[in-house]
Amino acid sequence: MIVLSARFAMSQTVRNAYREGKEEETLPPLVAIDHTGKPLGRFKKGDAVIFYNIRGEREIELSRSLLEAGFDEFPVVRDLNLHFATMIEYHKELHAHVAFPPDDVIEDTLSDIIARHHLTQAKITESEKAIHVTYFLNGKNSEIPRGEERVIVPTRKDIALFDEAPEMSIHAVTEAAIEKICEPSCHYIFVNLPNVDVVGHIENEGAIIRAVEAVDACMGRIVKAALEKGLVTIVTADHGTVEKWFYPDGAIDTGHTDSPVPFIYVHQNHHDVRLRGEGELSDVAPTVLDIMNIPKPAHMTGRSLIDNPPSRTAGEKRRVLLLILDGWGENNSNEGNLIARAHTPSMDRLKKTYPHTLLKASGEAVGLPPGTVGNSEAGHLHIGAGRRIYADRVKIDRSISDGSFYQNDAFLHVIRTAKDGGTALHLLGIVSFFSSHGSVDHLFALMDLAKREGMRNVFIHAMLGRRGELPESGANYIEKVEKKAEEINLGKVVSVIGRYWSMDREENWDRIEKTYRMLVHGEGTPVKLPA
């Protein structure tokens, strides 16, 4: 047992939870108490809250429970009247101040152009990835283009974690894809098979291999049907995951990777097709338009990956299937490569038979900071947009560097409202550096801002989930936050919970209720903080 100073009580408690076999992602709530046993730092009427997570699709449900007047998914306190700010916009109708509002909707995405040419399209996946193949793929646009159909297969809810059923709903997704392939009137079909990414975030090697093999088998069926109907199929991915499943020291890495992803051109008449030696995800949309004989719009700065486009008659438009193997990265080494360990005859056959190349899917190639891993949001955004789109995280990091972060109107409004009203400030979010949902650096910047503004009562509510982090990283981050609070003499970590309970996007309201009751009522394992 690791012994730490009493002032690091919360990080010590997280470490003790590891010893008891608890995982960060599903860590039950921990709640700080005072010497009388009373929960510390609970949300009270008129308090200020800054939810500093980014992305948003996993943050909406908890935000709704705290803000929505008519919320009725579980019992809530009706008169909290929180002064609430979010780092980015989670939803247009959410009553919150937004620190970094969205840029204009990205115009002339692949879906937009296809619709503008009066062609039909279908987007197919299961609900676990629905937002990626709709909202993000369409340039962060919630409106459905004319002629676009969406087939969203329900994700199973009869299991706690997906390693219990690594196949998820892949067979229903496959049947839906084949049905659309057999409809001559459907010109463009987008299919996402999410298993490798979703199951890859769980430390269960056998389950991951089953997921890889399920994706390979279903990909084989889908590609076979497309070949029979004369479609051009592109097989690619949005980022890597389990092709690098170990850190150099042998610890398991359940996060995304910086690996390139495959790009395979599949068609009966493929022999004369030459692909460029290397590209990036923003080249996918121009390639699809090239195949469909549709001019690329000026906004698309990506380039077609086909070096020698075939001559075609005016107006000829081939049907295209774009198949995304979510999380399927490329790694030449077999060391720690769970894709290489799996039996993948379909992928092996495609690479042996058809033209293929590699695409960059991380870092600056997908609008993220240099050296960072890819993710599904950035991946789908770039696949659909056909150009580089700089991420919210980049904009936020730049604002911290140039000092504008500390003059942000949304932050200053809620902080000053709390200060003037004598209420508390709560900082809520993921405690991580590598997570695509947020950064501990953003939390530290908010703590510094609260100090500048003269706040006295600042409470920190941390979400944990080791994706792309070393083992026990959650406790290490919590300790860093505790040390930061001690250094500036402001703030206390008063809640810790696994992201499984707080960052849902499938309307598993029992999970969100557990987080809500922790934040508002102080329900959870008590952790006594020093006076």
**Backbone dihedral region for residue 277 (phi beyond 0: left; psi -120 to 50: alpha; all else: beta):** alpha
pLDDT at 171: 98
For residues 424 and 78, which has the higher predicted lDDT (pLDDT)?
424
Task: Identify the CA nearest to 266 among candidates 315, 230, 314, 303.
Answer: 230
DSSP 3-state assignment of 181?
helix
Parallel/antiparallel/unpaired status of strands 188-193 and 121-126: parallel
pLDDT digits (tens, 9 = 90+) for 242-288: 999 987 777 888 889 999 999 999 999 888 899 999 899 999 999 99
C-beta of residue 214 within 8 angstroms of C-beta of residue 207: no
Rounded to 5 degrees, φ, ψ at 87 are -65, -45
pLDDT at 2: 33
Q: Tokens standing for 27?
A: 């860590």
Report the predicted TM-score, pTM, of the whole model to 2 decimal places: 0.73
Q: Tokens standing for 11?
A: 């990080």
Q: Tokens standing for 377?
A: 């949001």
pLDDT digits (tens, 9 = 90+) for 376-413: 999 999 999 999 998 888 889 999 999 999 999 999 99
- Write down the domain spans for the chain: 6-101+394-528, 110-388
Q: Taking residues 320-330, what's their average pLDDT? A: 98
Q: Which helix (H) or strand (E) holds 308?
A: none
Q: Taking residues 87-94, what's their average pLDDT? A: 90
pLDDT digits (tens, 9 = 90+) for 183-215: 999 999 999 999 999 999 999 999 999 999 999
For residues 91 and 321, which has the higher predicted lDDT (pLDDT)?
321
Q: What is the dotted CATH code of the domain comprising 6-101+394-528? A: 3.40.1450
**CATH superfamily of the domain spanning 110-388:** Alkaline Phosphatase, subunit A (3.40.720.10)
Quickly state the pLDDT bin for 503 (edges 50, 70, 90): very high
Instruction: Dihedral sign for Cα 337, 363, 400, 424, please.
Output: negative
Q: Is the pLDDT of residue 362 over 50?
A: yes
Q: What distances in angstroms separate CA 64 from CA 31, 344, 418, 459, 499, one per listed residue?
A: 22, 43, 21, 20, 17
